Amino acid sequence: MLTKRIIPCLDVTLDEAGGTVVKGIEFVDLRKAGDPVELAKRYNEQGADELVFLDITASHEGRGTMIDVIERTADEVFIPLTVGGGINSIEDIRQILRAGADKVSINTAAVKDPDLIRQSSQIFGSQCIVTAIDCKRNTDVEGNPDKVILELEDGTPAWYEVVIYGGRKSTGIDAVQWAKKVEELGSGEILLTSMDRDGTYDGFDIPITRKLSEELDIPVIASGGVGNPQHIYEGFIKGKADAALAASIFHFGEYTVQDVKEYLRERNIPVRL
């Protein structure tokens, strides 16, 4: 069995300091968590398998990604670094990879121009292209007969709607159908974030995580809602995810990456220690 990856996520906003890691609930009510370069160094030392750096306001603010912060982060870490936020073109991707990133995460721009996934995967290779899918539960099942209907934990039928611009805009696009499409276009990985769970400490959104993990041949990174190591375990066992992304539990010192990995190893989840 392939080892499961533990991936700390740095949600970064531009400020007078040049960039600060923040964490909120359902993408709002942000609180500061520290300097991105210092946090990246800490997670590298703790044994993280990868890092994800998301410039969470770049698309909304209509600006490019913070290249200088990426360069400083890449100089300090020696594990794969994925960067997302404000990526709209092949040239944006080229700049970010040159700055030291190993992969790019495309979200809003992919929804607006799906061909960007096809072009970028052909130019840079599928292994470089991660499609980030932010989604929200929608219980309007009768009005959406063409959607993929899943059963929530309490038995309620729902479909999952793709949202863009950092969760600010609904698209009407079904997340399962969209994930299948971007896989066909050449995306090498899916970063799946449930907005209903983001920052809540309630655990991953298992129904959508499991559905994508079962339907796709490419890896699925589960994101949104981790409050303790048990939630990550459930993401792997119940959600069948290939990797688990977490932020708050690491940023605010509740657990280290090592704590999580030891917890998982004790429960026979293969991890790199």
For residue 78, the model assigns a pLDDT of 92
Judge whether 272 lies within some domain. Answer: no
Residue 60, pLDDT > 80, answer no
Mean pLDDT of 147-152: 97
The position carrying tokens 């339907």 is: 215
Residue 225, pLDDT > 80, answer yes
CB contact at 8 A, 84 and 111: no
For residue 25, the model assigns a pLDDT of 47
DSSP symbols for 154-175: TS-EEEEEEEETTTTEEEEEEH
From 134, 196, 205, 242, active-site residue: 134
Judge whether 223 lies within some domain. Answer: yes
Residue 202, pLDDT > 50, answer yes
Judge whether 151 lies within some domain. Answer: yes
Judge whether 47 lies within some domain. Answer: yes
Judge whether 271 lies within some domain. Answer: no
Structure token digits, residue 162: 């793709």
CB contact at 8 A, 194 and 138: no
Residue 26, pLDDT > 50, answer no
Judge whether 273 lies within some domain. Answer: no
Residue 148, pLDDT > 90, answer yes
* pLDDT tens-digit map of 97-139: 999 999 999 999 999 999 999 999 999 999 999 999 999 999 9
For residue 57, the model assigns a pLDDT of 67
Give residue 177's domain range. Answer: 5-266
Q: Judging by beta carbons within 10 Å of its beta carbon (0-12, 13-18, 19+), is residue 2 exposed, middle or buried?
A: exposed
Mean pLDDT of 239-244: 98
The rounded mean pLDDT for the chain is: 90
The rounded percent of the chain whose pLDDT value lies above 70 is 89
Judge whether 67 lies within some domain. Answer: yes
Judge whether 259 lies within some domain. Answer: yes
Residue 167's pLDDT band (boundaries 50, 70, 90)? confident
Domain count along the chain: 1
- Is 102 among the residues known to form the active site? no
Distance between CA atoms of residues 64 and 59, nearest Å: 8
Residue 29's pLDDT band (boundaries 50, 70, 90)? very low
- Is 205 among the residues known to form the active site? no
From 11, 35, 205, 242, active-site residue: 11
Q: What are phi and psi of 213, to 5 degrees?
A: -60, -35
For residue 46, the model assigns a pLDDT of 96
How many Cβ atoms from other residues are within 10 Å of residue 95's Cβ?
17
For residue 34, the model assigns a pLDDT of 72
Angle subtended at Cα 103 by Cα 98 and Cα 106, rounded to the nearest 5 degrees: 105
Angle subtended at Cα 220 by Cα 7 and Cα 51, rounded to the nearest 5 degrees: 20
* CATH number for the domain that contains residue 261: 3.20.20.70
